[in-house]
Amino acid sequence: MPQVTLHNTRDAVIQVYRERRNLAATLKDTKTVIGRLEILIGVTVHITFVFFYLLIFRVRPRALGLSGMHILLGLQSEVRR
C-alpha cells in the first residue's frame, strides 16, 4: 500500500484548485455565450413577427420606405453592442 506523503497531498490539492478554477472560467464563458444567443434569438423572433404583421395587415414594402431600413439598422447596431 503506497504511503501518503505531504508532497503528494500538496500536489493533489493544487491540482484540484486548478481544475476548479478552470471549470469556473468555462462556466463564465458558457453564460456569456448563452446570453448572446438569447439576444440573437429574441431579435430574430421579433423581426419574424414584424414580417408576419406586415403580411397580415397587407402593408406594401414600398410604403414603409427608408424608415423601415433605419429601424432595422438601428436594431442591428444595438445587437452588436
C-alpha atoms less than 13 angstroms from C-alpha of 61 in its C-beta half-sphere:
3
Question: What digits encode the pLDDT tens for the residues 52-71?
Answer: 888 888 877 666 665 667 77
First to last CA, the chain: 59
Please state the pTM of the whole predicted model: 0.54
Please check the confidence at residue 48 and state whether its pLDDT lies above 70.
yes
Can you read off the three cell numbers belonging to residue 21?
A: 478554477
| Amino acid letter, residue 25 | A
CA atoms of 60 and 81, how far apart (whole Å): 31
